């Protein structure tokens, strides 16, 4: 009861409005609970916007053709590499920018942010080249059927070739969040999603004056929405009205900061590449052993799962920002307390999602998959089985992000190697193929590896060595 007495319910609604509109709150002082609220609400909504991106293409394409959905699923497993690098650079930028913000050094925070942007641009150019040239070969390598390749090869070409908009969207929003401008990141993704939702059906089905482009239209709509959002991000950064203020004089490589950023991002990029490569392998099993319908069902289920997980990543990102800023302000105990409070809130939220996933998978999947019974069965099994690990995963994602936010990106990387490469990949093959558990073998491999990852992360977090990390 004492905890509830400390909550000022009269102030709750004004705080919610302030968090969405934008706040000037110093997150290293005052109530930890209020700091979490002000940061996490716009971050949760922002991740919800990102989740909608992951879902919209599938919703409009699922009844357009199974091959098209399979292409989207296979491409997204490859695009996870881009997401990994974008997230990795974003987390590295968060660790440095939040630390400088906590030290009350706004100009150094802005300079550090620019280095993340420059690194993202360079890497995205390198990634774009094979996507533009070898898009058909990439789909064939991933196990796509000849029919799927013919109708859908434009999707990987445009998505991988135009990956710069994804990279910059992730990095720029991470910079806004780490400086405390989480509401700005939310507005940016709201604009991007609105454009994508309007353009997607128009370009896929040829509504009104638009041509019917099918899966190519989905890629064009997504890239257009994200591209306009990136332009808006840079406008906000250069107009000088937010915590991150960019100027032309900052746009040059700072060797020391760049090396520090690259060193930090190596760990975070490694974490996401490791987990993403395991996802690619799981998609490979689905495509090569169980066919396009299995890939389509698995893709739909994973998209909906991502839709619910990404808001939880918003809470995890809030914890990372608070850890970084409070360590910068020399308040390690406040940093630790922020992480635990956020982790418990995330656990509670995903526990409610678990109940829905376990009790109503047929209803949820049936609203999306209507004409392919096998794809529906695969999707239902995936949602139900993976749903059992949600509460544990909710706790673990905050703890891992908190360690990253402290600047210790090496430890979570090692944990990912152990749990995803050493355990998940061989276990998925063993259960699905060798023991003939089929698609369910893949799902059980995921929940076993994720559970072990969370347990190890919590044990390491409790030791507290992350508090001593300097960035």
Determine phi and psi for 320, rounding to 5 degrees. Answer: -60, -40
Query: Which DSSP state fits 464?
Result: -
Q: What is the pLDDT of residue 2?
A: 45
- Of 427, 457, 181, 444, the residue nearest 321 (C-alpha): 181
The DSSP string of 174-196 is: HHHHHHT-HHHHHHHHHHHHHHH
> How far is residue 440 from each of residues 70, 159, 274, 285, 373, measured CA to CA in Å?
19, 30, 22, 12, 16
The DSSP string of 309-353 is: HHHHHHHHHHHHHHHHHHHHTT-HHHHHHHHHHHHHHHHHHHHHH
Give the max Cα distance, the chain.
64
Quick one: how far is CA 224 from the chain centroid? 19
- Of 392, 396, 443, the residue nearest 416 (C-alpha): 396
Tell me if 189 sits within 8 A of 50, measured CB to CB: yes
Tell me if 406 sits within 8 A of 264, measured CB to CB: no
Tell me if 100 sits within 8 A of 109, measured CB to CB: yes
Which stretch of DSSP H or E encloses residue 368? none
Q: Which residues of 36-45 are buried (b: 16+ CB within 10 A; e: fewer)?
A: bbbbbbbbbb
Query: Which DSSP state fits 422?
Result: I
Which residues fall within 8 angstroms of residue 74, CB to CB, at 6 or more apart?
A: 139, 142, 143, 144, 148, 156, 283, 287, 295
Q: What is the pLDDT of residue 168?
A: 95
In whole angstroms, give the CA distance from residue 176 to residue 360. 37
Q: What is the pLDDT of residue 9?
A: 55
Tell me if 390 sits within 8 A of 354, measured CB to CB: yes
What would the two tokens of residue 390 be? 């949600």
Flag residues of the chain having pLDDT under 70: 1-10, 54
End-to-end CA gap in the chain: 39
What's the CA angle centered on 177, arms 173 and 180, to 5 degrees?
145
- Residue ranges of domains in the chain: 32-468
pTM of the model as a whole: 0.76
What would the two tokens of residue 125 be? 């150019």
In whole angstroms, give the CA distance from residue 167 to residue 121. 8
Query: Which DSSP state fits 243?
Result: S
Query: Which DSSP state fits 471?
Result: -
Tell me if 279 sits within 8 A of 80, measured CB to CB: yes
User: In terms of DSSP H, where are the helices of 388-438?
Assistant: 390-405, 410-416, 425-429
Q: Which residues of 247-265 are buried (b: 16+ CB within 10 A; e: fewer)?
A: eeebeeeeeebbebbeebb
């Amino acid at each position: 009861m004492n905890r509830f007495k400390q909550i000022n319910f009269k102030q709750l609604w004004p705080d919610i409005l302030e968090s969405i509109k934008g706040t000037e709150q110093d997150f290293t002082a005052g109530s930890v609970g209020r700091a979490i609220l002000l940061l996490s609400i716009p971050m949760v909504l922002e991740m919800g916007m990102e989740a909608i991106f992951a879902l919209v293409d599938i919703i409009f394409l699922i009844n357009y053709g199974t091959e098209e959905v399979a292409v989207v699923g296979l491409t997204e497993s490859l695009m996870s590499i881009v997401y990994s690098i974008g997230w990795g650079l974003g987390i590295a930028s968060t660790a440095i920018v939040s630390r400088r913000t906590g030290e009350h050094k706004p100009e150094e925070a802005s300079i550090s942010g620019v280095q993340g942007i420059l690194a993202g641009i360079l890497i995205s150019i390198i990634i774009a080249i094979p996507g533009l040239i070898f898009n058909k070969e990439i789909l064939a390598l991933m196990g796509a059927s000849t029919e799927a390749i013919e109708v859908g090869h434009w999707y990987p070409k445009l998505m991988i070739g135009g990956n710069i908009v994804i990279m910059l969207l992730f990095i720029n929003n991470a910079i806004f969040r780490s400086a405390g401008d989480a509401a700005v990141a939310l507005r940016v993704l709201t604009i991007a999603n609105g454009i994508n939702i309007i353009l997607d059906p128009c370009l896929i089905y040829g509504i009104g004056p638009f041509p019917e482009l099918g899966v190519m239209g989905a890629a064009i709509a997504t890239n257009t929405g994200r591209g306009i959002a990136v332009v808006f991000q840079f406008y906000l950064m250069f107009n000088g009205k937010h915590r991150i203020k960019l100027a032309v004089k900052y746009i040059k490589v700072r060797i020391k900061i760049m090396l520090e950023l690259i060193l930090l991002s190596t760990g975070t990029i490694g974490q996401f590449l490791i987990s993403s490569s395991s996802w690619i392998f799981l998609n490979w099993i689905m495509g090569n052993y169980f066919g396009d319908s299995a890939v389509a069902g698995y893709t739909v289920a994973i998209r909906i799962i991502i839709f619910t997980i990404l808001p939880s990543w918003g809470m995890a990102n809030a914890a990372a920002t608070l850890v970084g800023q409070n360590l910068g302000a020399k308040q390690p105990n406040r940093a630790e307390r922020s992480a635990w409070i956020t982790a418990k809130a995330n656990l509670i939220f995903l526990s409610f999602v678990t109940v829905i996933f376990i009790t109503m998978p047929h209803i949820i999947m049936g609203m999306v998959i209507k004409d392919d019974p096998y794809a529906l069965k695969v999707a239902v099994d995936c949602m139900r089985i993976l749903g059992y690990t949600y509460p544990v995963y909710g706790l673990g994602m905050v703890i891992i992000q908190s360690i990253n936010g402290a600047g210790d990106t090496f430890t979570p990387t090692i944990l990912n190697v152990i749990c995803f490469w050493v355990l998940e990949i061989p276990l998925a093959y063993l259960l699905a193929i060798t023991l003939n558990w089929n698609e369910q073998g893949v799902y059980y491999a995921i929940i076993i590896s994720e559970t072990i990852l969370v347990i190890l992360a919590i044990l390491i977090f409790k030791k507290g060595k992350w508090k001593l990390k300097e960035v």
